[in-house]
Amino acid sequence: MSATEDLLVEADRLAVELGHVDPPTLLDVRWRLVGPPGRDDYAAGHLPGAVFVDLDTALCGPPGPAGRHPLPDPVALQAALRAAGVRAGHPVVVYDGGDGMAAARAWWTLRWAGHRPVRLLHGGFPAWLAAGLPTGTAVPTPAPGDVEVRPGALPVLDTGEAARLATAGESVLLDVRAAPRYRGETEPIDPVAGHVPGAVNLPAPGYVAEGRFPAVDVLRERFAAAGVGDDRPVGAYCGSGVTAAQAVFALHLAGRPDAALYVGSWSNWVADPARPVATGANPG
């Protein structure tokens, strides 16, 4: 299995796998930062057999100084995953409403928790619909899973580590928010505008478009243009660790499974007014 096949699954391939005797566990993680909750979308129609898992309450901890989407409590996460039918060593496929952000954070969380066989449905729910594949409204009752959550299987940055990564000459910290937020011209969510000093801006459209990822060689070129080299430590952050999880997913596709996520991201950084803030187009 190639690195891409280990991370992504296309709709037609997933349809075949769902016809197997023991199909992958399907998790619907549709989510919006603002607007109607993803559970409403799930109720209106979802992939047959999919179980809804809420990103805010099941895959993340409660918001606070650690950020708007901090790490979940391992015990609570294990209970939520078992309730969704996640079994130890059994394949999981996650999907969202098409932008790939919530699915990537779900993918990252499961892998961080030590559950490696998890893939993202490429293009999410819209790709499934575009392929003419069936949906349903029946809510399954999965047999309880037995997954064991073992935190730490993927690297995580705290504020000090993020600062060091951003300022050390041999490493790079990617800020994947939109350029006006990076430059400090606007901040629609968090109380302070700007970026972590030394961080390099690579807005999400540079490595993903409408929830679909370009070819691996294109990804490598785009990350290289932002200063990501084969031997340079790399991490990513955004507003609250959701879009940045998608960047880490893309870095995995590009051959960098060591890429670290600053989970607290900007919402954690600005929780302490003593932390420095940079503005403008330069990392500085």
DSSP 105-160: HHHHHHHHTT---EEEETTHHHHHHHTT---B-----PPP------S-SS-B--HH
Pair 121, 168 in one domain: no
Q: Phi/psi class of residue 210: alpha, beta or left (left: φ > 0; alpha: ψ in -120 to 50)?
A: left
Q: How far apart are CA 184 and CA 119, in angstroms?
A: 35
Same domain, 71 and 178: no
Tell me the chain's radius of gyration from C-alpha atoms. 18
| Whole-number Å distance between alpha carbons of 52 and 2 | 28
Residue that is last in its domain, among 92, 110, 130: 130
152 within some domain? no
Judge whether 60 counts as a catalytic residue. Answer: no
Within this chain, do residues 121 and 166 fall inside the same structural domain, yes or no?
Answer: no
**Is 84 found in the same domain as 23?**
yes
Q: Token pair for residue 16? A: 């075949």
CB proximity list for 248: less than 8 A, separation 6 or greater: 104, 108, 154, 236, 259, 260, 261
Mark which of 115, 130, 145 sits at the end of a domain.
130
Q: Is there a domain that residue 153 lies in?
A: no
Q: Both tokens of residue 26?
A: 């399907």
Say yes or no: 115 and 7 in one domain: yes
Give yes or no: residues 124 and 81 share one domain: yes
**Other CB atoms within 10 Å distance of the CB of residue 13:** 14
Q: Please give the structure tokens belonging to residue 161.
A: 């580590």
Residues 113 and 8 in one domain: yes
- 115 and 19 in a single domain? The answer is yes
The tokens of 235 are what? 């991490």
Q: Which amino acid is at 284?
A: G
Looking at the fold, whether 111 and 170 belong to one and the same domain comes out as no
Instruction: Please check whether residue 79 lies inside any domain of the structure.
Output: yes
Name the DSSP letter for residue 169: T
In a shared domain, residues 174 and 246: yes
Residue 180 lies in a domain: yes
Residue 58 lies in a domain: yes
Long-range contacts of 68-76, Cβ-Cβ distance < 8 Å, separation of 24 or more: 68/189, 68/239, 68/240, 68/241, 68/267, 69/105, 69/240, 69/241, 69/242, 69/263, 69/267, 70/241, 70/263, 70/264, 70/268, 71/112, 71/151, 71/156, 71/263, 72/109, 74/113, 74/149, 74/151, 75/149
Residues 110 and 27 in one domain: yes
Per-residue CA distances from 45 to 10, 41, 53, 68 (Å): 19, 7, 15, 28
Q: What's 119's domain CATH number?
A: 3.40.250.10
Distances (CA, A) of 109 to 17, 63, 86, 149, 269: 23, 16, 13, 10, 21
pTM of the full predicted structure?
A: 0.97
Q: Provide the number of structural domains found in the chain.
A: 2
Strands 118-121 and 200-201: unpaired
Give the SS3 label for residue 235: strand
**169 and 260 inside one domain:** yes
**Residue reference for tokens 């293009």:** 123
Which residue is catalytic, options 92, 162, 238, 250?
A: 238
Could you tell me if residue 68 is inside a domain?
yes
Domain with 245 in it: 159-269
Assess if residue 144 is contained within a domain: no
Planar angle of CA 115, 5, 133, nearest 5 degrees? 95
Of 90, 109, 130, the residue that ends a domain is 130
Does 107 reside within a domain? yes
Residues of the chain scoring pLDDT < 70: 1-3
